[in-house]
Amino acid sequence: MNRIGRIAGDQVMKLKAGDMGIQRANVREGGRNPALELGNAQVFKVHGVPPWLGEFVQDAIIKLLAMRLDGMPSHETSDLTTIAWVEIILKSQREWVQDLDLPRLKSALDIVQRRASRWPAPRDLLDAMPPRSYPRALPKPRTEAMRSAGLQALHDLRHKLRGGS
């Protein structure tokens, strides 16, 4: 279930997902809160979460839930868990770039899944991330003067090799 719509029991819950400003209030058995009807994708879109990051965290939470680790959150709170993880991950780095960071997150999730015997914290994922690997920079473009100097050097070298002085 990707949406939280009903809370079992007679309890009143007040939950707030930090700075994302998502408020859950006064939900009783059988009652519905329209704020809970939003799926995570809409919540992330409203709050400027890059879609690829939200999708990655949702998939990671699903994979971790499937492992049935000690201390895992209930399926009913998986959306709130996802929101909390996204918030923590977003704040951990100034900027997230899909081409640079998605492979790092996938690698970190693999490590966390292999090592986990209890439900991990978002910090475990962040600590397992390898450093960014940047693509090799292109050489500076050559100017006409550099090209001419290179051609002259080749000409001089050819001349020397042919026995010229």
What pLDDT is attached to residue 129? 95
Strand, coil or helix: 48? coil
Burial 65-98 (b: 16+ CB within 10 A, else e): beeeeeebbeeeebbbbbbbbbbbbbeeeeebee
Prediction pTM value:
0.59
In whole angstroms, what is the distance from residue 25 CA to residue 88 CA?
A: 22
Instruction: Give the pLDDT of the chain (165 residues) as one tens digit per residue.
Output: 333 333 333 332 333 344 444 433 333 344 343 444 456 666 676 667 889 999 999 999 999 999 999 999 988 888 899 999 999 999 998 889 999 999 999 999 999 999 999 999 999 999 999 999 887 888 887 888 888 999 999 999 999 998 876
What pLDDT is attached to residue 79? 86
Strand, coil or helix: 21? coil
